[in-house]
Copies of this chain bind each other. A is one copy, B any other.
């Protein structure tokens, strides 16, 4: 068996999320359909992290297995070209490499990085509206940084997990970093929130961002985030930030 690893970028707004679902346009569905066409059998893919409908990816990672025969049929550069020709236009597959047998994009991932893009200010960000959350108020980034500091380290993030997904499941995760930077996107200043952790619960990054923005606009004090964590209850946290501002940026392996 030969295990192949690949980087996958996609526009979230073109799909009902990453994970394959019957009768829905999904990223996994499109890739697996193309692989099935190429190898004339169902090929299952594993991803580093499922993303919800509307969430973008720049550096999602997938892995899948090919038999000796299949691996021999075409080289990886050819497979990459064929895949990109067959999959949906809003997906791009790149950096195909053969990795050690049994490698899993999911279980071998050491850390995952998400970036969230916020456009603050009153004017509509028409050029990049589908890549940012337009928060119409000024943000106190220093207060957001202080609020974020409560989330660094290993915690029970149950308050930051979609309630239905937290039932009967472990909700401890380790957040390595939450950092903030301002960068230009098509000539406008956007606030980028970089979140790195070992793994993330369902909608965790969007809930973290929504909660930090509550502090940023001045509706809450930074220390409130500590109470949110301790509540272990999704209703204690802020609203989910919109999917369109979130990008699954990269995955770290050994």
A92 within 8 A of B: yes
**Which of chain B's residues have a CB closer than 8 A to the CB of A164?**
none
Give the contact-size bracket for chain A. Answer: 20 to 34
Interface centre among A58, A90, A94, A124 (most CB of B within 10 A): A124
Instruction: Indicate if the CB atoms of A9 and B126 lie closer than 8 Å.
Output: yes
Whether A116 sits at the interface, judged by CB under 8 Å, is: no
Q: How far is the CA of A159 from the CA of B11 in the complex (A)?
A: 38
Contact A126 to B11, CB < 8 A, known contacts A58-B186, A131-B186, A185-B185: yes
Tell me if A149 counts as interface (CB < 8 A to partner B). no
How far, in whole Å, are A91 and B186 apart by their CA atoms in the complex?
15
Q: Mark A81-96, 1 if CB is under 8 A from B, else 0.
A: 0001000011110100
A92 partner, pick from B124, B183, B184, beta carbons under 8 A? B124
Residues of B close to A126: CB separation below 8 A: 9-11, 89-92
Whole-angstrom distance from the CB of A193 to the nearest CB of chain B? 15
Q: Which 10 A/B pairs are nearest by Cβ-Cβ distance?
A: A92-B124, A94-B123, A92-B126, A92-B123, A9-B126, A11-B126, A58-B187, A90-B126, A10-B126, A56-B127
